[in-house]
Amino acid sequence: MAARCVLAMMLVSLLAVAVHAQGFGPAATDQKVHARAVWLNEQTRPAGQNVLAVVLDVVDQWHIASDRAQAAAGKFNPYFTDISVISDDPRLSFGPAQFPTPHELAVGGLPEPIAVFDGRVILYFPVAVADDAEPGIIKVELDLVYQACDDARCDFPVKLPLVTELEIVAVDALISGSVAEAGLFERFDPGSFQSLGVTQTEAPSEKIDLLITQVDPTDAAGFAVLLVLAAIGGALLNFTPCVLPVIPIKILGLAQTAGNRSKTLALGSVMAAGVVAFWLGLGVAIAGVSGFTASNQLFQYPAFSITVGVIIAVMAIGMCGLFAVKLPNFVYAISPRHDSYAGSFGFGVMTAVLSTPCTAPMMGAAAAWAATQNPGATLATFTAIGVGMALPYLVLSANPKLVDRLPRSGPGSELLKQVMGLLMLAAAAFFIGAGISGIFSDGTQAAPKGHWWVVGALITVAGAWLIGRVFIATPSPTKRGSFIVLGLIAILAAGAGTWELTRRDTWIYYTPQRFEQALAEGNVVLLDFTADWCANCHLLEQTVLDTDEVAEVLASAGVVAMKVDLTGGYPDGKLKLKETGSVTIPYLVIYRPDGRIVFTANWYTAGQITDALNQAKNSGAVAKSE
């Protein structure tokens, strides 16, 4: 049997070589390897240098042979992976391709192992620009040749054409940043520029955008700044829509123990440890688990969303004081018992879990960069995020006077707990509903939205309960008036929000075929990466993408708006997100009709979107006229 397998592999390879040599190889639609070309910088000055990366993502259980120079010695020679530049523009000079180091694979029946690539494979070309290069856009064409095999068979070799563009700008022009994901060029060897007879004068930049500044984490000082900003991003997570509703619950718990300074500090420290433990565990998972690259990736698994929702619901029931019957002990263990160390630690973990759908833009760039780095950098970054998120709780517990004015018992305290419990039930309905939507969502059409009515109904009940019970909770006319206003705001917001979130969806939902067709028809394409469980995604959609200013441009001729729905972990959507250079959502990308990216952002304004769309439309018109 083994001999027959080897013979079959050899015959397939020989036949494929003959077919390929005749120029009748299969079309570039192979789904075993996804290839793309990415520039370190999409703009370069005359006499400058750049780097072109060719990224190959080989699907699980498959591999491709190594390049010829690194092939393992043996009697069986597979169809080697090769790439060549076929463009001949005199403004650009390309050095030899820099391949990664392959690993050896033993194939049954073969006398010796063969050298192969699998997973993510990145090839690099050093590129030099002529001193007298005229400004303009250069179209670069490459031919990639490979053969995909699994443990039992090999496909025909594929000759895959790749096309990319590089813009040459004036000598005194500013260079715009790259849209490549952080870490993509970290293995490039600058010494390869010597093959072009030049020394590198424009060092590859691994700078990433964090909050309002740009950081280069490749040196010690830059990495230290990255950790500080990651911690600031972690602290800001406490003010996102995901976490903000649970903060009053912890403040209430601290108020109950504020009379005992040492116990308050101990419980706050334990909760902070729970927050840090979650983020550290997440860093371990990202550093060590293949295919796991982002914190909010957890919610792409419906079972996880539903589990989180159930836990929150149990905590909410306990907060409302509805444990009137004896339940299993583990239920009480996850109830928010702020006077116990186990309860405080669990509450810290849950608070951190709730923040994961809101990671971008607060610290999405830092998390995305860390996901591509060595384990030490990954763990350090995620620990910094956890410390930053936990810091406010340490401050509160170290300064109990900050919460001394809150009622520790009585009708006011009970009313606040009950309202917070009802709001937590609304949060539970949100996560459970998002999980159920993920089960029934295939990503190619709008996910079910019925759970939003349950969320809205529970918020309405919370507002009504606050209005109805405030007369019992306090005799103060001022406090009564304030709580009545808050209750009315909650009711009105619940009604308006539910209506907006469940009204008819006019978006086109992404599939690779729809995307390619839209570009082929000469359209500008806007991709909005979103998910039902992503609170920031809904916030941006309601406050930016659904505004009249943006909606008018999206509805204009020559523009196609597509949602990439990751509610249920849509595989094609996840691959597209990875191709664009991001691992977190929300994320928005705008393409010119020729497929070139002109805008990417995980946080944006209406003006930025309309400007980018108009720029893309104008550039498309220029391209057509040319």
Confidence band, pLDDT 50/70/90 cuts, at residue 174 = low
In this prediction, residue 211 carries a pLDDT of 40
In this prediction, residue 142 carries a pLDDT of 92
Cα 219–Cα 224–Cα 229 angle in degrees, nearest 5: 125
Task: Supply 81's token pair.
Answer: 């992976």
In this prediction, residue 99 carries a pLDDT of 93
In this prediction, residue 206 carries a pLDDT of 44
Task: Supply 548's token pair.
Answer: 């009249």
In this prediction, residue 326 carries a pLDDT of 44
Nearest one of 209, 354, 368 to 275, comparing CA atoms? 354
- Which residues, in sequence order, are bridge partners of residue 564? 529
pLDDT, tens digit, 9 for 90 and up, residues 112-149: 778 889 988 999 999 999 888 888 889 999 999 998 88
In this prediction, residue 135 carries a pLDDT of 87
Is residue 206 within 8 Å of residue 361, measured between CB atoms?
A: no
Answer whether CATH 3.40.30.10 is correct for domain 508-625: yes
Q: Is residue 526 scored above 90 in pLDDT? A: yes
DSSP string, 443-470: SSSPPP-THHHHHHHHHHHHHHHHHHHH
Kindly state the DSSP code that residue 244 receives in the 8-state scheme.
G
Rounded Cα gap, residues 437 and 451, in angstroms: 9
In this prediction, residue 167 carries a pLDDT of 87
Residue with tokens 């995620």: 382
For 57, counting Cβ atoms within 10 Å of its Cβ (0-12 exposed, 13-18 middle, 19+ buried), the class is middle
Q: Is residue 177 scored above 50 in pLDDT? A: no
Confidence band, pLDDT 50/70/90 cuts, at residue 626 = very low
Mean of pLDDT over the chain = 74
pTM across the whole model: 0.51
What's the half-sphere exposure (Cβ side, CA atoms, 13 Å) at 496?
7
Q: Check residues 414 and 492 and name the one with the higher pLDDT.
A: 492
Of 39-53, 108-122, 302-316, least confident by mean pLDDT is 302-316
pLDDT, tens digit, 9 for 90 and up, residues 400-420: 666 555 555 556 667 777 777
Q: Is residue 338 scored above 80 in pLDDT? A: no
Q: Check residues 554 and 341 and name the one with the higher pLDDT.
A: 554
State which H helix or E strand residue 120 sits in: strand 120-129
In this prediction, residue 426 carries a pLDDT of 83
Kindly state the DSSP code that residue 182 receives in the 8-state scheme.
T
In this prediction, residue 248 carries a pLDDT of 59
The alpha carbon of 561 is separated from its chain's Cα centroid by a whole number of angstroms, namely: 20
Rounded Cα gap, residues 77 and 69, in angstroms: 12
DSSP string, 35-95: EEEEES-SEE-TT-EEEEEEEEEEPTT-EEE--GGGPPPSS------EEEE----TTEEE-
Q: pLDDT exceeding 90 applies to what percent of the chain?
A: 8
- Which phi and psi (to 5°) does residue 506 adopt? -100, 5
Of 176-180, 354-358, 499-503, least confident by mean pLDDT is 176-180
Task: Supply 610's token pair.
Answer: 């309309």
Is residue 588 within 8 Å of residue 602, measured between CB atoms?
A: yes
Mean pLDDT of 327-332: 46
In this prediction, residue 79 carries a pLDDT of 76
In this prediction, residue 16 carries a pLDDT of 38
DSSP string, 521-559: TT-EEEEEEE-TT-HHHHHHIIIIITSHHHHHHHTSTTE
Report the length, in residues, of the chain: 626
Nearest one of 196, 432, 407, 417 to 320, comparing CA atoms? 417
Nearest one of 461, 458, 483 to 470, comparing CA atoms? 483
Rounded Cα gap, residues 95 and 308, in angstroms: 52
Q: Is residue 369 scored above 70 in pLDDT? A: no
pLDDT, tens digit, 9 for 90 and up, residues 43-100: 888 888 889 999 998 888 888 988 888 875 544 556 789 999 988 889 999 999 999 9
DSSP string, 253-267: HHHHHTTSHHHHHHH
Q: Strand, helix or coil at 143?
A: strand
Mean pLDDT of 595-611: 83
In this prediction, residue 527 carries a pLDDT of 93
Q: Check residues 515 and 208 and name the one with the higher pLDDT.
A: 515
Nearest one of 44, 49, 29 to 165, comparing CA atoms? 44
For 39, counting Cβ atoms within 10 Å of its Cβ (0-12 exposed, 13-18 middle, 19+ buried), the class is buried
Confidence band, pLDDT 50/70/90 cuts, at residue 253 = low
Helix and strand numbers (H, E) in the chain are 17, 19
Of 356-370, 440-454, 539-553, least confident by mean pLDDT is 356-370
Rounded Cα gap, residues 340 and 346, in angstroms: 10
Is residue 626 within 8 Å of residue 594, measured between CB atoms?
A: no
Nearest one of 345, 417, 355 to 388, comparing CA atoms? 355
Q: Where are any strands of DSSP class E within 131-274?
A: 136-146, 148-149, 158-168, 208-210, 213-215
Is residue 95 within 8 Å of residue 17, measured between CB atoms?
A: no
- Which residues, in sequence order, are bridge partners of residue 129? 92
Mean pLDDT of 447-464: 85
In this prediction, residue 381 carries a pLDDT of 78
Is residue 381 within 8 Å of residue 415, measured between CB atoms?
A: no
CB atoms within 10 A of CB 334: 19
CB atoms within 10 A of CB 223: 17
Mean pLDDT of 448-476: 83
Q: pLDDT exceeding 70 applies to what percent of the chain?
A: 68
Domain boundaries, the chain: 2-197, 213-440, 508-625
CB atoms within 10 A of CB 374: 12
Q: Check residues 523 and 223 and name the one with the higher pLDDT.
A: 523
Is residue 356 within 8 Å of residue 367, measured between CB atoms?
A: no
Identify the CATH homologous superfamily for domain 2-197: Thiol:disulfide interchange protein DsbD, N-terminal domain (2.60.40.1250)
Q: Is residue 333 scored above 50 in pLDDT? A: no
What's the half-sphere exposure (Cβ side, CA atoms, 13 Å) at 386?
27
Fill in the amino acid letter for 201: T
Is residue 72 within 8 Å of residue 112, measured between CB atoms?
A: yes
Is residue 130 within 8 Å of residue 93, measured between CB atoms?
A: yes
In this prediction, residue 112 carries a pLDDT of 75
Rounded Cα gap, residues 584 and 582, in angstroms: 6
Nearest one of 72, 75, 58 to 104, comparing CA atoms? 72
Is residue 612 within 8 Å of residue 589, measured between CB atoms?
A: no
Q: Is residue 106 scored above 60 in pLDDT? A: yes
Q: Is residue 3 scored above 50 in pLDDT? A: no
In this prediction, residue 14 carries a pLDDT of 35
